[in-house]
Chains A and B, each alone.
Chain A
Amino acid sequence: MNTAADMVARYCAELASIAPTLPAAEVPWIQQTRNKARDDFARLGFPTRLQEAWHYTNVGALQRRFFALESTDFSVGQSTIEPLLYPGLDCHRLVFVNGVHAPELSAIGALPKGVELENLATALTRTPEQLEPFLGARGQQTEHAFNALNTALLRDGVCLRLAPNTRLDKPLHLLFLSTGEARENCAQPRNLILAAAGSQAVVLESYHSLDEAACLTNSCSEVILEADAKLQHYKLQEENHQSYHISSLQVQQARDSHFESHLLSLGATLARHELNVDLNGEGARCDLNGLYLGNDRQHVDCHTEIRHMQAGADSRQNYKGILDGRARGVFNGRVYVHPQAQQSNAEQSNHNLLLSANAEADTKPELEIYADDVRCSHGATVGQLDDDMLFYLRSRGLPEDTARGLLILGFARNLLEQMPLKTISARLEQKLIDILSQSHGLKSLI
């Protein structure tokens, strides 16, 4: 096993060998979809830095290290997940261990009429024909190696379907747990959210490691928002510092729909968050907020692409990086405005705080605008803590490390404040504080 091609072949061989055991393996379109994706992955291989989209992020390590796809029995107890839950957050819960649904840990509860919530494996078995339009030929980016790898497995994840004008009564908390035990595993959740006209939901995805084993998460989510539908989406990524986290979220938005995304990326040695939004109807709007922290040698890459396909849609992006140690943060934000997408509004900002001389931030806005009546703005900064602010705080008696911690938290604050669900934002803020108190003196004060 020493060349990239060997490693790709090894994944393909394992995929072929477990194919008959996968959910709905006998359904022809599903079989074809998996086979085609496996061929795509075999053809594409892992991306290299020669590819524009991966210029700043080197996934070479994945060519040398195999993460097993075959599922084994994991015994994860309720007490293990307890600390990962949000006290005070009344929610529906689905738990996945290494990408496979764990019914004994999940708690879906009663659902409003018109809302279907189940794990994908169940949905694939129960109503495969209904999913074909979304997971079949149309539902994939065939030139994306990680999406291909995910589709080649197409095993499990969440499937949420909202009938017109329904509302998921409580937030949905999706827990994705990685555990290694004796080997290094690959989790490939595949999530599908179909929100019909006028429907609404709040979804929180959280990614955690249960031990110190290195794992690869390659998650793929698709969201379809029909006219007037609303989705509030939160994502917390706090896997251990040995793990790799690759994710892509594709959003299709119809007229007057609203997609709101809040990302907090804390963990993994390498984390890549792709978020692609197509604004396909007038009045569609997306708000994307992201906060990423890096320390040691962590690498975190936020890659967004927003396509304004019709007139009168709005997009707002606000990403912030806090980078310490030898960490590297990347923000690559592409905004495309189609010639007929007049009166588009696109704002993008990326601010980075470097806390050490060896940390690095790369920010790359890409604006491709083909309509003339549009308002587009973008701003990017890379800076350090402000000396005047530090002095001000210290002159009032705050120790230097506390002053630094407060300023770092202050830098992140507006992103936390934009989260409508305070039970979530308070918890995420506490996570930030916990991390900052390891290197800064916040603990004694809070």
Chain B
Amino acid sequence: MLEISNLHVSIGDQTILKGIDLTVKPGEVHAIMGPNGSGKSTLSHVLAGREGYEVIEGSVRYEGKDLLGLSPEARAHAGIFLGFQYPVEIPGVNNMYFLKAAINARRKANGLKELDAFDFIQMAKKKAGLVGLDESLLQRAVNEGFSGGEKKRNEIFQMAVLEPQLAILDETDSGLDIDALRIVAEGVNALRDPERAVILVTHYQRLLDYIVPDYVHVLSDGRIVRSGGRELALTLEEKGYGWLKEAAAT
């Protein structure tokens, strides 16, 4: 589904990603962990098509096609979803209105009939209930004045509505209380099926108790320095990242 090979990315004259190789197959859940500043969000943004990054080497293929030449909206239409680490507040743009526009833009791009207001609202309310997002938030401006946890729930809500093929969740668990964490995890698990894949960026092994990953990768200084199964997260939890550096040095 996703093949990242030898990806080098810079911002300005600083190289942030220094050769990432990662293959994600349908049905898989990959967790990416790693110290602050190691490049996890950069990778997420590059996959979603944010401007301001320069790919200096390497390639990314999605469903067999070059991903990097596509606009962010084209990627969304192809089923990629990014849950932001810091969701932006957008004053004056109504959450429901925006989401209806988003889902219909995607349906249109894929040759499907657009949802009418009634069907959309029914569906959105159901999904909001599923992820425990207070319905009153639906009528507010996108993320405006939302608490940190509400913003993250809103990301999961949008994911649930858009039903992406590949969800990249950048620290969606940070700032969530225990109940919210469980709900977010349920949201992700509900989406799990043999056709879809998830990349979870997280600092906490706790999330992985709820969403059991197939692979865990450690990103450090722009490289994946270790990959393993779920048990790698437990080791990291216990030992931190220091031992990886020592292991790398010897």
Contacts and interface: CB of A to CB of B under 8 A. Distances in A.
Interface of A: 386-389, 391-400, 402-403, 406-407, 409-414, 444-445
Contacts of B91: 410-411, 413-414
A414 B92 contact: yes
Nearest to B73: A394
16 contacts: A386-B88, A391-B51, A395-B49, A395-B50, A395-B82, A396-B98, A397-B103, A397-B106, A398-B73, A406-B97, A406-B98, A407-B90, A410-B90, A410-B91, A410-B93, A413-B93
Interface string B158-170: 1000100000000
Given A387-B51, A398-B102, A399-B105, A392 B90 contact: yes
B76 A397 contact: yes
Contact of A445 (B73, B104, B162): B104
A407 B89 CA distance: 11
Contacts of B158: 396
Contacts of B81: 395-396
A444 B77 CA distance: 17
Given A397-B73, A400-B71, A409 B92 contact: yes
Given A396-B158, A400-B73, A412 B105 contact: no
A384 to B, nearest CB: 14
A399 B71 CA distance: 9
B130 interface: no
A397 B77 CA distance: 6
B141 interface: yes
Contacts of A413: 91-93, 141
B72 A391 contact: yes
Contact of B72 (A394, A410, A412): A394
Given A397-B76, A397-B103, A399-B105, 19 more contacts: A387-B51, A389-B88, A391-B48, A392-B90, A394-B71, A395-B49, A395-B73, A395-B76, A396-B81, A398-B102, A400-B71, A403-B73, A406-B93, A406-B98, A410-B91, A410-B93, A411-B92, A445-B104, A445-B105
A412 B49 contact: no
Given A400-B71, A402-B101, A406-B98, A394 B76 contact: yes
A412 B73 CA distance: 24
Given A391-B50, A396-B158, A409-B93, A445 B84 contact: no
Please tell me the size bucket of the interface on B. Answer: 35 or more
B78 to A, nearest CB: 10
Counting chain A CB atoms within 10 Å of each CB, the highest count among B77, B90, B97, B106 belongs to B90
A395 B106 CA distance: 11
A389 B104 CA distance: 19
A425 to B, nearest CB: 13
Contacts of A406: 93, 97-98, 101
A348 to B, nearest CB: 19
A395 B93 contact: no
Contacts of A402: 101, 105
Contacts, number: 88
Nearest to B80: A395
A396 B76 contact: yes
B92 A412 contact: yes
Contacts of A410: 90-93, 141
A386 B51 CA distance: 13
Nearest to A406: B93
Counting chain A CB atoms within 10 Å of each CB, the highest count among B75, B77, B105 belongs to B105
B26 interface: no
A400 B73 CA distance: 8
B121 to A, nearest CB: 16
A323 to B, nearest CB: 17
A396 B99 contact: yes
A393 B98 contact: yes
A397 B141 contact: no
B132 interface: no
Nearest to A445: B101
B110 to A, nearest CB: 10
A430 to B, nearest CB: 14
A414 B104 CA distance: 26
A381 to B, nearest CB: 13
Contact of A397 (B84, B87, B90, B162): B162
A376 B125 CA distance: 44
B17 to A, nearest CB: 18
Contacts of B109: 397
B59 to A, nearest CB: 21
Counting chain B CB atoms within 10 Å of each CB, the highest count among A387, A407, A410 belongs to A410
Nearest to A413: B92
A395 B105 CA distance: 12
Nearest to A391: B50
A-B pairs, top 3 by smallest CB distance, nearest first, are: A410-B92, A413-B92, A397-B76
B225 to A, nearest CB: 28
A440 B48 CA distance: 23
A411 B93 CA distance: 8
Contacts of A409: 92-93
Nearest to B72: A394
A411 B98 CA distance: 14
A261 B81 CA distance: 43
Interface in B8-64: 48-52
Contacts of B104: 445
Contacts of B87: 392
Nearest to A410: B92
Contacts of A388: 88
Contacts of B51: 387, 391
B138 to A, nearest CB: 15
Given A387-B51, A391-B51, A398 B101 contact: yes
Contact of B90 (A387, A389, A412, A444): A389
